[in-house]
Structure 1
Amino acid sequence: MLSALDRSRSVAPPGFSRWLIPPAALSVHLCIGQVYATSVYKNSFIAHFDSSATAVGIIFSIAIVMLGLSAAVGGTWVERNGPRKAMFVSACFWAAGFLVGALGIATEQLWLVYLGYGVIGGIGLGIGYISPVSTLIKWFPDRPGLATGLAIMGFGGGALIASPLSRQLLSAYDPGYDPDVATSTANGGALVALFLTLGLGYFVVMMFGVVTMRVPADGWRPEGFDPATVTAKPLVTTASVSAANAIKTRTFWLLWIVLFCNVTAGIGILEQASPMIQDFFRGGDGRSEVAVATAAGFVGVLSLFNMAGRFLWSTTSDLIGRKRIYLVYLGVGMILYALLASIGDSVVAVFVLLAGVILSFYGGGFATIPAYLRDMFGTFQVGAIHGRLLTAWSAAGVAGPLIVNGFLDAQGKPGTLTASAYQPALYTMVGVLAVGFIANLLVQAVPERYHEPAPAPEKETVA
């Protein structure tokens, strides 16, 4: 059955519209983007397992670590077998992760949730995340930033769908759960039902992407596209670099640092978004001026920034170049973090605006990095190279929450914190972004000794 999903059987027929590819990729990324909605049931998990916030937060960190590791290890396999088989395998692992996680909830064994959602689901995350990237770049050689932005914005938007959906499902499965009350927690039966529903539902949606995805025929190019218009831009190569050679270059490791710093800074806010906005506007009486429902609404707005940034900034990078757009992400990001720490608690709108732009840079960094890799290393094994680079995401998935939660744990108990408790963490993120800014300045073209031998000219076919 899996042979029907091979790359050789996935070649698009003549006349196939390349604009069907982004929706196929989007269907996968919208599903796996649910990982950003884990905070919705975090308090319910703490109550159900009678555990600490740190122990439950590890579920998210394990998933992100496995995302990077599976993308790194499986990147070459994805390139060899094609996007359809990779997307199918991703759907199986992602759905299985929810099912095993549901078993862990039912038996009150937190380690099974670590294994299921964290490890198994994390493998599905990594394979699913990289599966369409190389294919998108090949379908859109004229606008790689736009193409990857269209798909990867789904990962940022996944939480926008999953957060309210999860709340409604929990309230349906547990009548005693009130999604508008901070202290309300869902019972174990509702959590089991939620995981079963999400696992099966996401599997069905991801199958749409599997059925729709196609790869371009050898030598295909868009009508009217002149490759010289792209390769004439600064820091855009016409050569090819293998994944094995890419990791030997200084350019790869500089980009690894750039992505690590950008993600570490953004994920700290993203993981704490809902309690953070309530803590920033907590009064002297210990009560927050922002209700739980209102905070959830603001988190939805921040998710919109995250999602929109993936498309807007990556598309902008097609015009101004990848290196310059990362200077914006990191340089302007430092200023915004400093402002968030100093005046973010003045007005709710100021907090949302500052945090929103920061998260748009965070999302934009993810969407732009595949095109940056294509510029530096060519299209030969860009998917595999992208997979290896995502180990930076794994490291950041641990570092970001640890930095923020470490500072917060030292400041007091959840529900009693104020804006000042976040200042040490936010100023630390300014320093993290400064390191990434310097690394990006040092990025240069890959030396010729790492290039693959030039292939024989192929016969071109025009769309």
Structure 2
Amino acid sequence: MNKNRWLIALSAIAIHLSIGGAYAYSVYKNPITTQMGWSETNVTIAFTIMMGLAGFSAALFGSFVEKQGPRKSAMLAAVLFGLGQAGAGVAIAIDSVVLYWCTYGLLSGLGMGIGYISPVSTLVKWFPDRRGLATGMAVLGFGSGALITAPVATNLMEQFGISNTYFILGISYFTLMLLGALYIAPPKQEGALNVSKYSTTGKALAQLSAREAVRTKHFWMLWAMHLINVTAGLMMISVASPMAQEVVGLSVAGAAAMVGLMGLFNGGGRLLWAAASDYIGRHNIFVIFFIIQLIAFVSLPFTTNVLVFQALIFLVVSCYGGGFSNLPAFASDLFGTKQLGVIHGYLLTTWSLGGIFGPLIVSTIRNATNSYTPVFYTFSVLIAISLCISLWIRRDVAKKKQKVEQLQEASAI
């Protein structure tokens, strides 16, 4: 059966939309602590386990995804993530916090990591002309999952209780992910979508295995850039509300509204920045990311206007989201699609590390200085380093493209 690449994209969105629901975790915290009497720390540990495992499992199972293909990988992700969510309902029902960590934390984290990378390398192969748009569509679903899950989970808990909510959502996620998995597949044969008939943005500079890619300086430059971008974004997300209240006097209600809008910029940035990268290049997009964020972090300590302060935060968060959608597309530009799933998985270790470093840096500095101002300066330095790396890799990409074009011209003669 000939498959439609737009339906392939829709299948990827279905998978990412489901695992992205995990970002709505905050809606469970108060109901669980109130009903079960578990400490807030114990409830938070489950989320920490899940998010920590997500990035590292993407790296660990990258080879599995490449060998078994997107369908089997996505089906495994559906089983793990669905069981993790439904299992959390069992843990609530029998009052076992350890089981809650093992189900919501461990199983869901493994399912999230595998489910995240499963569709991406396939989408890149179906959209050689629009790699950025393809990955942007998928991770837009991931970024938007919480927007749908949060109100749905809240209403379900009010009507059916926490345990039944997990059962309902677990079954729903499993069904949606399975439907996506059953349709998703790579192009039938290599060259079925010949890059030459598309725009030049689809041409990779090389076709490297994962082992070859990690031995290049470009892999580690990309890894470092994304680590700093993720760390800055997660730092901002973790303290946005109290920071805005303290620095510019935003009200509690205003801060809550700002957090909601941050979700839109996170999701929207994933699609818009990725789509733009197809026209101006992934290397240029990362340069723009760090210029914007450098201006933002340098300006934040001196910003007293509430609207300007929020606008700067929204820009940082949009760059955070855009980094995730541009990462696999940039990797495919540099290293090809030969083992993109594995390479992307390795790069996503930055996701787990950023989730640790971002909140840790801001809390440590804030507690030591009783101010957010040193936080802004610290991240200004980190972003400046990333800007230098992005300019370096842009220069290298330009040189390599020129060399490839010269070789092509010579061979044509």
Please give the TM-score of this superposition, normalised by the length of structure 1.
0.78
2:248 maps to 1:289 = no
Displacement of 1:246: 1.4
2:210 maps to 1:243 = yes
Q: Which residue of 1 aligns with 2:15?
A: 28
2:169 maps to 1:210 = no
Instruction: State the alpha-carbon separation in 2 of the partners of residues 58 and 424 from structure 1.
Output: 28
How is 1:19-418 mapped onto 2 (pairs within 5 angstroms)? 19-47=6-34, 55-173=42-160, 190-222=161-193, 226=197, 229-230=200-201, 236-237=204-205, 239-278=206-245, 282=249, 289-291=251-253, 295-343=255-303, 346-347=305-306, 349-408=307-366
Displacement of 1:23: 0.8
Structure 2 unmatched ranges of 5 or more = 401-413
SS at structure 2 position matched to 1:142: coil
Q: Match for 1:441 among 386, 391, 398?
A: 391
Instruction: State the alpha-carbon separation in 1 of the partners of residues 84 and 376 from structure 2.
Output: 33
Instruction: State the alpha-carbon separation in 1 of the partners of residues 159 and 301 from structure 2.
Output: 39
**Residues 278 and 97 (structure 1), Cα distance of their counterparts in 2 relative to 1, 3 Å cut:** farther
SS at structure 1 position matched to 2:363: helix
Structure 1 unmatched ranges of 5 or more = 1-12, 174-189, 283-287, 412-419, 449-463
**Residues 439 and 139 (structure 1), Cα distance of their counterparts in 2 relative to 1, 3 Å cut:** same
Instruction: State the alpha-carbon separation in 2 of the partners of residues 424 and 45 from structure 1.
Output: 35
Q: Which residue of 2 aligns with 1:9?
A: none
Displacement of 1:222: 4.6
Instruction: State the alpha-carbon separation in 1 of the partners of residues 165 and 202 from structure 2.
Output: 49
> Which one-letter code corresponds to 1:210 in the other structure?
A
Q: How many residues align?
A: 398
Instruction: State the alpha-carbon separation in 2 of the partners of residues 76 and 408 from structure 1.
Output: 40
**Residues 435 and 36 (structure 1), Cα distance of their counterparts in 2 relative to 1, 3 Å cut:** farther
Instruction: State the alpha-carbon separation in 1 of the partners of residues 44 and 240 from structure 2.
Output: 14
Instruction: State the alpha-carbon separation in 2 of the partners of residues 240 and 281 from structure 1.
Output: 50
Displacement of 1:427: 3.2
Displacement of 1:372: 0.6
**Residues 446 and 324 (structure 1), Cα distance of their counterparts in 2 relative to 1, 3 Å cut:** closer
Higher helix residue share: 2
Instruction: State the alpha-carbon separation in 2 of the partners of residues 196 and 422 from structure 1.
Output: 41
Q: Which residue of 2 aligns with 1:430?
A: 380
Range with greater deviation from structure 2 (116-125 or 368-377): 116-125
SS at structure 2 position matched to 1:333: helix
What root-mean-square deviation, in Å, do the aligned CA atoms of Structure 1 and Structure 2 show? Answer: 2.7
Contact 1:39 1:271 in 2 (8 A): no
Identity %: 40
Displacement of 1:301: 1.7
Instruction: State the alpha-carbon separation in 2 of the partners of residues 289 and 120 from structure 1.
Output: 38
> Which one-letter code corresponds to 2:385 in the other structure?
V
Contact 1:63 1:117 in 2 (8 A): yes
**Residues 224 and 33 (structure 1), Cα distance of their counterparts in 2 relative to 1, 3 Å cut:** closer
Instruction: State the alpha-carbon separation in 2 of the partners of residues 378 and 435 from structure 1.
Output: 26
Please give the TM-score of this superposition, normalised by the length of structure 2.
0.87
Displacement of 1:430: 2.4
